[in-house]
C-alpha cells in the first residue's frame, strides 16, 4: 500500500497544478523579504509526512485516509492521522490531533508562525480549530468534495467559504501534491474492511 502511495513520480515542488495559486520563485522571494521564512523543500516535506501518517492510519484501521503535519520553519512539530474509529471520537480528525499535540508540546494554544499540511481540505470543524489556534497557513491536497464522494458525512462548506464568511486571516493553498494525496483514497477504496462515517 505504501509503495502505491510513493511510487508515483512526484511533481517538482515549484510545479503547481494548473490553476492553483502557489509560490512562484518570485513570490517566494517576496515572501522571504517580508520576514516570513519559506524554506525550499519544507512544503514538500510537510505533505510527505502527512501522507506517511495517513498510510499508517489506513493500514491500522484507525479511521479515514487522512493525515496532517504541523510545521514551524524547517521543523516538524506534530504529525498524526485520523483516529475517529480507533478512539471512538468523532472529533479525532488528523488536523485536530496535530493541533492538540502541538499545543500540549509547546504549552500554548497560540500556534502563530505554524503551517498545517493536510492531505484533504480541512472540514469546517478543523478549519475553525485552525483559526482558533491562529495557524498562519493551511496547505491541502484533495478537496472536501473528494471525501464526500467516498461517502464521508462531510458538510458542503469549503475552507475558502469558511475563511470568507468568517473573515479569517488563515491563508489557504489547495491542490498541493494532489496526485499523491489522491492515491490515499485509492488505497482506501481497495480496503475490504473500510468503514465510512
Ligand atoms: Zn476535520
pLDDT digits (tens, 9 = 90+) for 53-103: 999 999 999 999 999 999 999 999 999 999 999 999 999 999 999 999 999
* Residues 14/24, Cβ–Cβ less than 8 Å: yes
CA of residue 178 to ligand 1 center, whole Å: 18
Question: What is the pLDDT, as a whole number, of residue 40?
Answer: 56
Question: What is the pLDDT, as a whole number, of residue 171?
Answer: 98
What's the count of helices (H) and strands (E) in the chain, helices before strands?
Answer: 9, 5
Residues paired with 72 in a beta bridge: 75, 114
Distance separating alpha carbons of residues 157 and 148, to the nearest angstrom: 11
Residue 17 has pLDDT above 90, yes or no: no
pTM: 0.80
| Residue 113, number of CB atoms within 10 A of its CB | 14
Average pLDDT over residues 29-37: 41
Q: Ligand 1 being an ion, which residues bring their Cβ within 5 A of it?
A: 93, 123, 125-126
Tell me the catalytic residues: 95
Distance separating alpha carbons of residues 140 and 178, to the nearest angstrom: 8
Residues paired with 93 in a beta bridge: none
**Of 53, 74, 77, nearest in space to 63 by CA:** 53
CA of residue 29 to ligand 1 center, whole Å: 32
* Residues 73/112, Cβ–Cβ less than 8 Å: no
Mean pLDDT, rounded, of the chain: 85
Cell numbers placing 164? 470568507
CA of residue 100 to ligand 1 center, whole Å: 13
Provide CB contacts within 8 A for 187, sequence distance 6+.
Answer: 1, 4, 5, 55, 58, 65
Question: What is the pLDDT, as a whole number, of residue 70?
Answer: 98
Amino acid at each position: 500500500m505504501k509503495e502505491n502511495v510513493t511510487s508515483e513520480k512526484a511533481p517538482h515542488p515549484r510545479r503547481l497544478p494548473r490553476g492553483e495559486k502557489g509560490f512562484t520563485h518570485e513570490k517566494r522571494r517576496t515572501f522571504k523579504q517580508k520576514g516570513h521564512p519559506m524554506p525550499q523543500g519544507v512544503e514538500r516535506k510537510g505533505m510527505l509526512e502527512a501522507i506517511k501518517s495517513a498510510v499508517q492510519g489506513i493500514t491500522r484501521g484507525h479511521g479515514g485516509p487522512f493525515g496532517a503535519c504541523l510545521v514551524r520553519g524547517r521543523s516538524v512539530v506534530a504529525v498524526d492521522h485520523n483516529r475517529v474509529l480507533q478512539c471512538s471520537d468523532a472529533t479525532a480528525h488528523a488536523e485536530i490531533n496535530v493541533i492538540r499535540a502541538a499545543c500540549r508540546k509547546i504549552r500554548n494554544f497560540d500556534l502563530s508562525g505554524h503551517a498545517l499540511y493536510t492531505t484533504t481540505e480541512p472540514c469546517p470543524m478543523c478549519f475553525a480549530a485552525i483559526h482558533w489556534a491562529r495557524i498562519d497557513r493551511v496547505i491541502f491536497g484533495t478537496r472536501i468534495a473528494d471525501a464526500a464522494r467516498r461517502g464521508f458525512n462531510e458538510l458542503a462548506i469549503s475552507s475558502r467559504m469558511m475563511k470568507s464568511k468568517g473573515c479569517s486571516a488563515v491563508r489557504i493553498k489547495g491542490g498541493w501534491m494532489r496526485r499523491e494525496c489522491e492515491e490515499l483514497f485509492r488505497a482506501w477504496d481497495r480496503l475490504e474492511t473500510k468503514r465510512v462515517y
